[in-house]
Copies of this chain bind each other. A is one copy, B any other.
Amino acid sequence: MAKERDEKAVTPRSEDYSQWYQDIVLKAEMADYSPVKGCMVIRPNGYALWENMQRALDSMFKATGHVNAYFPIFIPMSFLSKEAEHVEGFAKECAVVTHHRLGAAPGGGVQPDPDSLLEEPLVVRPTSETIMYAMYAKWIKSYRDLPLLLNQWANIVRWEMRTRLFLRTTEFLWQEGHTAHATHEEAWEEVMRILDIYRRFAEEWMAVPVLTGVKSDSEKFAGALKTTCIEAMMQDGKALQSGTSHDLGQNFAKAFDVKFQDEKGGWQYCWQTSWGVSTRLIGALIMAHSDDQGLVIPPKLAATQAVIVPIYRDDAGRAKVLEVAARLKADFAAAGLGVVLDDRENLSPGFKYNEWELKGVPVRIEIGPRDVEQGVCVAVPRVATRELREGEKRQKETLPLASCVGALKSLLDDLQKALFARALKFREEHSYRADDYSAFKQDIEKGGFFYAHWCGSAACEDKVKEETKATIRCIPFDGEKEEGRCFVCGAPSQQRVVWARAY
């Protein structure tokens, strides 16, 4: 048993934060490395989380009038160079398809058939603005066709040399919304509507508090007028950009000739937006909540919300306990809760506890012969027992079997709130005002968000990045207007911006 536990033990965060993250992803079977360099395999535990994220986001998109569609994975190479800034940002580390057939190789095996060389190479989409807007130009004719509110769930490829599971891989999954509007005002409303959906999803579903704001010009999307974003803080104090919503202005509309005839019969270019979140969110969720025992999943996104572990010493006890446990499972399932009854033989309850803690199941239900006699079970939330002891009323709880479903639901609700509160407290404790640049250069080493005045110049931004690896995460929307001086060059500034090192 000792050996089994060791195999599943996770490196403590204090020892090696990076290794801790990788241990959790691999040992909780969220993802795995694949034989293709830079590409991951998303295992069932990870994919179930993605499915729940998709379901929640998709219904928020649909409730605001968006519909889904699907566009080709391949983009003609020439498309990527149509929008001037876009080519700089995206026409670089791409997977390039040059042949469409394999043939026998001279020395045996196969090789790309030289006769199948494509006239124009195809790029595997690094993002779909160009291929989608070529279609928009064909579909949009009149103001009556606007707004066009499409979203796509798809796989994306951006060649990466240094990869980290979920956070940075050559292939990842995402959604990308692409809308077209008659006026800039409507487009901007859309940008902010989506950003608010992203914020609500992060906070209410993932239990991860986020800052919302605008990116500086050097950090914005290649081809956008303005990029807005949600930024989360991880447990090492680094920032993780978790979603972006772009005001594209008319840049792509002009490059791809996306025009509409207005009510007076004149032709105008559309105003466009694009926005996306990806499987990166899984990495954010893991790094925001998990601990040295393993993964922590917020109840609202957990496929398995509770695991029932029966406890017994002999066959008589086993029969009695399993009967009640099976009934409990049926009651939970009937109430729409995701539940597993772990009735595997030859494994101790302690081994099972460790395994389910590693996998992040929000609540464990223990039930033994004495519990059955007393008509109760014991509920143990994944986090409260370990880390929310002080000031938290929930630890182990004895629940009457008769009212167990309601009690479990309420416990899951409390856990969801507790996780958000803990993450928010962590962020607040690691957010600072920085007025002195040389002090900042030392303080940034310990991580956190630093609110500092900035003159708005790319020069100061570059200098900070070069000297400290910190970047401007956003110019926050809720930042107070405050007269001040750039903490680098001393020029006047009206507002503090948020600096941090980032994933």
Using CB atoms and an 8 Å cutoff, list the residues of chain A in contact with chain B.
Answer: 32, 34-36, 39-44, 47-48, 50-51, 67-81, 87, 91-102, 109-112, 116, 121-124, 131, 134-135, 138-139, 150, 154-155, 157, 159, 171, 173
Contacts and interface: CB of A to CB of B under 8 A. Distances in A.
A75 B131 contact: no
- The majority secondary structure among interface residues of chain A is mixed
A67 B138 CA distance: 39
A74 B131 contact: no
21 contacts: A35-B79, A35-B131, A36-B75, A36-B122, A39-B72, A40-B72, A41-B72, A47-B68, A73-B73, A73-B155, A74-B95, A78-B109, A81-B109, A81-B110, A94-B100, A94-B102, A95-B97, A96-B97, A96-B112, A98-B99, A155-B155
Contacts of A51: 68
A95 B41 CA distance: 21
Contacts of A109: 78, 81
Contact of A94 (B34, B101, B171): B101
Contacts of A116: 96
A435 B66 CA distance: 56
Given A51-B68, A111-B121, A155-B155, 20 more contacts: A32-B135, A34-B71, A35-B134, A35-B135, A39-B74, A40-B72, A41-B71, A42-B70, A42-B71, A47-B68, A48-B67, A77-B110, A91-B102, A92-B101, A92-B102, A93-B101, A96-B99, A96-B112, A112-B121, A124-B124
A135 B101 contact: no
Counted per complex, copies of this chain come to: 2
Given A41-B69, A135-B34, A102 B76 contact: no
A70 B41 contact: yes
A93 B99 contact: no
A32 B159 CA distance: 29
Contacts of A110: 77-78, 80-81, 87, 91
A369 to B, nearest CB: 27
Nearest to A50: B70
Nearest to A51: B68
A236 B34 CA distance: 45
Contacts of A159: 100-101
Nearest to A156: B73
A259 to B, nearest CB: 17
